[in-house]
Amino acid sequence: MTKGKKSGDAPKKAPGAPVGAGAEMRQGAGGETHQVAGGDVVTLTTAQGAPVADDQNTLRYGARGPALLEDFHFREKIFHFDHERIPERVVHARGYGAHGYFELTDSLADVTRADIFQRVGERTPAFVRFSTVAGSKGSFDLARDVRGFAVKLYTKEGNWDLVGNNIPVFFIQDAIKFPDMVHAVKPAPDREFPQAQSAHDNFWDFISLTPESLHMIMWVMSDRAIPRSFRFMEGFGVHTFRFLDADGHSTFVKFHWKPKKRLQSVVWNEAVKINGADPDFHRRDLWDAITSGDFPEWELGVQLFDQAFADTFTFDVLDPTKLIPEEELPVRIVGRLVLDRVVDNFFAETEQVAFCTQNVPPGIDFSNDPLLQGRNFSYLDTQLKRLGSPNFTHIPINAPKCPMAHFQQDGHMAMRNPIGRANYEPNSWGAAGGPREDPVRGFRSFAAEETGPKTRLRPESFADHYSQARQFLISQTPIEQKHIGDAITFELSKVERPDIRARLVSHLRHIDEHLAATVANGLGLPLPEPAKAARPTITGLPPSEALSIVKNGPDSFAGRKFGILLTDGADAALFDALVAAADKEKAVHEIVAPKIGGVTLSDGRAVAAQQKIDGGPSVLFDAVAVIASPEGAALLAGDAAAKDFVTDAFAHCKFIGYAEEAIALFDKAGLTADLDEACIVLETESDVQDFVQACRALRFWDREAKVDLDAKA
């Protein structure tokens, strides 16, 4: 069993390093060998022509030490990657943001001098940008993808950018591999497709040769990668950071954002259809929630631990492909993040906001996580290309809200310059000479003592690639496990090369034999031999309930949306009861009708529609109801979009309420014989109350076995 801090670990051969520059066999990241297509391998060089010995690891001071500035290969590689998109972000191009505040609820003054964590009840202005990673700025919202969760906190001692994701781990262990990972998932350079999708040969070729990615793959192939809303997903700082107190004492910390309305995702078939019906689904949801006064809220939690815990933890706390289970190290809730204001101008704020992981106030510091070390270099460099100037901090959305004073001057689009004669430091001009260092209040790094050779080696404590992937899988409910198997099978079904499919399945055998067999069967693929593993899988890690969406779902329907399909002559009392119950639940409802002008109810009242039936499919809603007159039901029964409305809701395991007259629509849609306990007939106000309460479960997963071929295989 590998322990965390291993300063004495024997370095391991760089994962993925070729056996020989001209050989036809290469060594993969897990130690396995594989055939290289095309015969002799051309030697990899820098842009200056220097041959590269190791393209898998940054140069560090010791295997677990900090990255070194002299690593010209890493700097050239990440520099070029940072600048290869004009004008949008290379990754996280499609984003959406909002303003709000962070309020401290539990002081952390005992472990950090960071001003933001000192005074309970104090509010700090915040800006948050959510995003997808792989797609372009014009791609759709419901891609199967990681979601960025970047928080800029305008503290009294400078901006703090907690640039995280909705998944607590990452694909790679070393930042030098980031350009390769992103290139692999982006559209292929020869054909420029597929867009915002990982279901293609390049991505899975890279993943199947990079076993360190397998834990992240379990997350990305789970429903975590298709969230119902930004409001219903978690956020994570990913890396291990440090808190420093006034005496310079260090406490390790990992950051968590937990949504107050709990977790929720969609299913894959639903995501595909949402992208067609409303590619701005997540954007619209966030905008509508804030402008209606239903302000999204998250709790900030921290996992705090010392060196002794790091030394005894099963995995290395510097490895960004690993997490610390909450059952093993509880999350302490210390504050809340509330988004209460939309932007005034998308470009000026959401598009121009610049996040840098290096932006931390005094009292917060970095660990030697090699991915974090590389990000600290990369993000600042990226802003120069994207925003065109080193003066991007002069843009209001990026400017600190605390006093600032420095000697930086000039440059493209400088909005302010030092005042007076002195533009250098030290100087002897006294008070007129400008700002001076403050050894007491100023930022100080942790005084770590490092040992080891200057080297490009991955520590042995990073070598277990499968154990936490297995732990994530067994922490899911059966329906969530099924969705992971479905997703991997679907993605690999889009891969043209059989050897790539087989290679990936060979890794799955180290995670779970049933999962590997399920995917192989779904592909019509003979079960391959297990891949060579650098470390055997630890099969005794316990499940963690915190990793399941279903186990952490809401206990109410608050913040969710009903779709009410109405026709002329619909029962007015039934409609009123449903709207009243939805309002009491603090849910939202939209009227879907044959015409956008709306309908006339049984009591003669006109009700406006928000959606026309062929523009308001059931995928846009969390639960649906059909209230129709006999004549209206007959009309709907002849409409393909109306039949899709109920068949999709049924296929996606949603709760369906219906007036008895709507049976005519269910008959024509072929559903009548399959209606189950989650399809609730609405005759009385009591029925309506029962329906709304049932909807709190969000999905009736028992139905999936009836509607999914894979569930019957």
Q: Which two structure tokens, joined as six digits, stand for 672?
A: 């009548």
Annotated binding-site positions for heme: 89, 129, 178, 375, 379, 386
111-133 burial code (b ≥16 CB/10 A, e <16) = bbbbbbbeeeebebebbbbbbbb
Quick: pLDDT tens for 404-425: 889 999 988 888 888 899 999 8
Q: Which of 73, 92, 282, 652 is catalytic?
A: 92
Q: What is the CATH number of domain 558-712?
A: 3.40.50.880
Examine residue 15 and say whether the peptide bond preceding it is cis (omega within 30 degrees of 0): no
Q: Which of 73, 99, 159, 165 is catalytic?
A: 165
Residue 14 reports pLDDT greater than 60: no
**What was the pLDDT predicted at 51?**
87
Quick: pLDDT tens for 536-548: 999 999 999 999 9
- Residue pair 484/472 in contact (Cβ under 8 Å)? The answer is no
Lowest mean pLDDT among 26-40, 95-109, 184-198, 287-301: 26-40
According to DSSP, the residues that pair with 549 across neighbouring strands are none
Mean pLDDT score, 65-80:
90
**Integer Cα distance of 460 and 315 in angstroms:** 10
* Domain map (residue ranges) of the chain: 558-712
* Percent of the chain's residues with pLDDT above 90: 84
Residue 19 reports pLDDT greater than 70: no
- Give the C-alpha distances (Å, rounded to integers) separating 447 from 221, 365, 490: 40, 11, 49
- Residue pair 103/121 in contact (Cβ under 8 Å)? The answer is yes
**What was the pLDDT predicted at 2?**
38
**What was the pLDDT predicted at 39?**
62
What contacts 655, CB < 8 A, 6 or more positions away?
Answer: 623, 624, 678, 679, 680, 691, 694, 695, 697, 698, 699, 700
**What was the pLDDT predicted at 711?**
61
**What was the pLDDT predicted at 413?**
86
* 345 counts as catalytic: no
Quick: pLDDT tens for 288-345: 999 999 999 999 999 999 999 999 999 999 999 999 999 999 999 999 999 999 999 9
**Integer Cα distance of 280 and 275 in angstroms:** 8
Examine residue 87 and say whether the peptide bond preceding it is cis (omega within 30 degrees of 0): yes
* 92 counts as catalytic: yes
SS3 446: coil
Backbone angles phi, psi at 72, to 5 degrees: -65, -30
**What was the pLDDT predicted at 37?**
53
Helices (H), 388-429: none
Residue 556 reports pLDDT greater than 80: yes
